[in-house]
């Protein structure tokens, strides 16, 4: 009913928003630039943030923006199955029939990565989510698995994503060999106050706020009573300015 009342073409705060319709906050613009740099430089990157900060959307946008002829994206969350299941998922994502023994599986993954990069001219892009659940031993294994030509070659893009304390895990002495090879790290931050504040129409030289942008891309072009100054304050306080929570509290 509210969609008809406000002349909206769809749910304005749905999770399935396309990257091209994303609100370009300062935080999102920086995260996008960092990920684009990682793709160009190749190697290992770390993206962390609190739940609802936009990590998964950033990763989804990264994958959607890559040319499938030049990049092969393999997305795996650590929360599914055992560590060996995770390694088998990597091999399967590369188009291999996973080996049984760990040492054979590692060799199979490395050989497949090199074949994609050198023979097929396609860069594997590994997006590993929920990595704050990883043990130091597992992170050490990843350092070994993604060491090519005595660490002189990076034939891959490797994104570790998770909650902020993943950075603490990487600070441990056991994981230094992996941490020292990270070429990009970024922590997703909340929306800033002026990015939540209601400005309809936008103030001179300023873009629309996040709530106004989200209802605007669904067709609404007029000021919403619920997003007046008091509503904006309530919206921000209830959601702590995280994107996902903004959609719940303002929607």
Domain architecture of the chain: domains with CATH? 2-8+191-250 (no CATH), 26-187 (3.40.50.300)
pLDDT at 103: 92
Instruction: Tell me the two tokens of residue 182.
Output: 């990270």
3-state secondary structure of 94: coil
pLDDT at 189: 84
How far is residue 158 CA from its own chain's centroid? Answer: 12
pLDDT at 85: 87
DSSP-derived secondary structure letter, 148: B
What is d(CA 169, CA 136) in angstroms, rounded to the nearest whole number? 7
What is d(CA 48, CA 188) in angstroms, rounded to the nearest whole number? 6
pLDDT at 137: 87
Widest CA span in the chain: 63
For the entire predicted model, the pTM comes to: 0.76
pLDDT at 27: 80
What is d(CA 206, CA 92) in angstroms, rounded to the nearest whole number? 47
- Tens-digit pLDDT string for the chain (251 aa): 555 555 555 555 555 565 555 655 678 789 899 999 999 999 999 999 998 888 888 898 899 999 999 999 999 988 656 788 889 999 999 999 999 999 999 999 999 999 999 999 999 999 999 999 988 889 999 999 999 887 788 999 999 999 999 999 999 888 999 999 999 999 998 766 665 665 545 444 445 655 555 555 444 455 555 554 544 555 555 444 444 444 433 44
DSSP-derived secondary structure letter, 43: E
What is d(CA 130, CA 149) in angstroms, rounded to the nearest whole number? 28
pLDDT at 246: 42
Strand partners, 74: 126
């Amino acid at each position: 009913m509210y969609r008809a009342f406000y002349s909206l073409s769809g749910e304005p705060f749905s999770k399935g928003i396309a990257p091209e319709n994303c609100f370009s906050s300062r935080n999102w613009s920086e995260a996008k630039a960092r990920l684009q740099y990682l793709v160009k430089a190749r190697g290992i990157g770390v993206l962390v943030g609190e739940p609802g900060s936009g990590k998964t959307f950033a990763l989804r946008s990264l994958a959607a923006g890559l040319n499938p002829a030049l990049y092969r994206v393999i997305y795996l969350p650590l929360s599914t199955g055992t560590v060996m299941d995770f390694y088998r998922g990597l091999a399967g994502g590369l188009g291999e029939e996973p080996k049984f023994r760990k040492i054979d599986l590692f060799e199979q993954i490395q050989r497949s990565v090199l074949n994609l990069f050198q023979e097929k001219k396609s860069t594997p892009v590994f997006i590993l989510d929920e990595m704050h659940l990883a043990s130091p031993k597992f992170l050490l294994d990843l350092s070994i698995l993604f060491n090519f030509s005595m660490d002189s070659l990076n034939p891959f893009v490797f994104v570790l994503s998770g909650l902020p304390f993943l950075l603490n895990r990487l600070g441990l002495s056991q994981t230094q060999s992996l941490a020292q090879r990270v070429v990009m790290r970024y922590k997703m931050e909340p929306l800033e106050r002026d990015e939540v504040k209601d400005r309809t129409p936008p103030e001179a030289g300023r873009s629309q706020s996040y709530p106004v942008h989200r209802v605007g891309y669904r067709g609404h072009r007029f000021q919403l009573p619920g997003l007046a100054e008091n509503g904006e304050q309530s919206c921000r306080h209830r959601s702590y300015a995280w994107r996902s929570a903004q959609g719940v509290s303002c929607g």
